[in-house]
Amino acid sequence: MAIDFTMSAAQKSLQAKARDFSETILAPVIPGADREPDPMLAYAKTKPAYIEAYRAGIAMAMLPQEYGGGGLSCLDFTIAAEEICAIDPGFACTVLCNGLGLMPVSWYGTEEQKKRFIGAATSDPAGEYLGAWTAGEPPGGTGGTANFDSPIPTAGIGLTAVLHGDHYVLNGRKKWSSAAGWDGLGANAQTVIVRTNGSVGGTQGLSAMVVERGTPGITYTFLDKEAHRTTSNAFIEFKDARVPVENLLPGAEGNGDLVINRNFAWSGPVAAIAAVGVARAAYEAALKFAKKNTAGSLTPIIQFQNVGYVLGDVAARIESARYFSWRAADYLDKHDQHAELVGAMCKINVTETMFDCVYKCMQIVGVNSLSKEYGFNKYLRDAALLPIYDGGNMGMQRRRVHGVLAHDSFNPRAAMDDETVYFQKTMESIGTVADAYKAPPGAPAVSAATLEMA
């Protein structure tokens, strides 16, 4: 990326292509899908647009070209994603989850697995193929996602995968997965974070494997959400589900914790640019309103200093947020798609800043922003979601940054100097277990060996 942030002719063409798709094919679908009360039907209403995105090369644009994907750089993908997110970040999330579900295969899989899973994703004649990412779990007890890398074996990820012959047998629950599929019977392939070793904690006992559609023993329930209603999220139950040994990603065996951190850092700039897209849409709507409405005065309210100053501040923040998103994506491209620090900082800063921008736009429009005709109800819902997904800024992203900053090897000028920050297991677990790693009541005591590993 040029230091002056000027897009190349190819990038401008890509942006125009994504904008044309978003405004002509996607935009007409979204209002009806967002209003649909049934979450499965709401998602299904976006399927025709998804098929068009697949055929246009958008849906699998982020996957490696050698396996049939678009081979877009992270920066190029981010530029295109903004145009889709300005119309609907929920639909963009469906596309993003193809990457979240299948990029781990490109990072940690064998050559055979890459050809098998990514090749299938990029060669569907129907254009309906869905990849999915399945890491999160429902709250309650000692399970759940936020403390996935806890060094205590009884905390963190609860979905177990026990080896029986040539299969792993999976038992447990997941939540917020994108894996429900168009019909509630599962995505074509989902990368699932499982506990393959129950005797050690999350920094050593987690792995990643691909679970295919049609695997017996798995049920999906669509989640009814306030925001991103145009994408699927599911509650999943695994009951003696048998997954072939060859579906385990060998590079991720015992490293499921690193897969989670790397994947949510890879998606950091995309989540950030999604926030930029939502804020951009809200800003443009507020500016249009301010230029047409007088609020009972003699001139449109854009002529008043307060309105002009607020909108000017919003516009500046959107510009700076866009450039941070581009910078983080460019960092991914230059550092082997590792941005566990920069990607997290970008996602935190931009999503929270853009939420504030959307609310300021609502203040400009005033009580009229509550009227659905202006679209601010959707902007606010979508903007509020972005800081709390992808592991959550508070639950996971800030903890990763904290772990890097607290490590003895950290160079505070690394990002400025464009150095690679190597994320290590010794940077994990910070703040996950309080009170000297005491086990919860009734749980087995933590061994000295476990404490040493922590």
- DSSP string covering 92-112: HHHHHHHHHHHHHHHHHS-HH
The amino acid at 150: S
- Angstrom distances, CA of residue 405 to CA of 393, 400, 409: 16, 9, 9
Q: CATH 1.10.540.10 residue ranges in the chain?
A: 9-121
User: Which helix (H) or strand (E) segment is 186 a member of?
Assistant: none
d(CA 153, CA 167): 23
Sequence-ordered list of residues with C-beta below 8 angstroms from that of 12, at least 6 positions apart, any chain: none
What token pair was written down for 12? 């401008």
Q: CATH 1.20.140.10 residue ranges in the chain?
A: 267-423
**pLDDT for 221-257, tens place per residue?**
999 999 999 999 999 999 999 999 999 999 999 999 9
Angle CA(360)–CA(363)–CA(367) in degrees, nearest 5?
Answer: 150
Can you name the residues that pair with 329 across neighbouring β-strands?
none
Q: Using a pLDDT cut of 70, give the percent of the chain over it.
A: 94
**pLDDT for 89-134, tens place per residue?**
999 999 999 999 999 999 999 999 999 999 999 999 999 999 999 9
Q: What is the pLDDT of residue 153?
A: 84
The tokens 């669509």 sit on which residue?
Answer: 222
Average pLDDT of the chain? Answer: 92
In this predicted structure, the answer to whether residue 350 has a pLDDT above a threshold of 50 is yes
In this predicted structure, the answer to whether residue 434 has a pLDDT above a threshold of 60 is no
What token pair was written down for 428? 């994990």
Q: What is the pLDDT of residue 312?
A: 98
- Reduced to 3 states (helix: H, G, I; strand: E, B; else coil), residue 243 is strand
**pLDDT for 273-332, tens place per residue?**
999 999 999 999 999 999 999 988 889 999 999 999 999 999 999 999 999 999 999 999
Q: CATH 2.40.110.10 residue ranges in the chain?
A: 131-253
Q: What is the pLDDT of residue 432?
A: 72
Pairing state of beta strands 189-195 and 206-212?
A: antiparallel
* Assessment of whether the complete model's pTM goes beyond 0.75: yes
Fold of 9-121: Butyryl-Coa Dehydrogenase, subunit A; domain 1 (1.10.540)
Q: What is the pLDDT of residue 436?
A: 42
The domain defined by 131-253 carries CATH number 2.40.110.10: yes
Can you name the residues that pair with 160 across neighbouring β-strands?
171, 195
Average pLDDT over residues 69-96: 97
What token pair was written down for 157? 């990820």
**Nearest partner of 92 among 281, 256, 362, 255, judged by Cα:** 281
Fold of 267-423: Butyryl-CoA Dehydrogenase, subunit A; domain 3 (1.20.140)
What token pair was written down for 204? 């050593």
Q: What DSSP string runs through 361-419?
A: HHHHHGGGGGSGGG-HHHHHHHHHHGGGSTT-IIIIIHHHHHHHHHSTT--TTTTTTT-
Q: What is the DSSP letter of 69?
A: S
Q: pLDDT tier at 142 (50, 70, 90 boundaries)? A: low
User: Which helix (H) or strand (E) segment is 277 a member of?
Assistant: helix 268-292
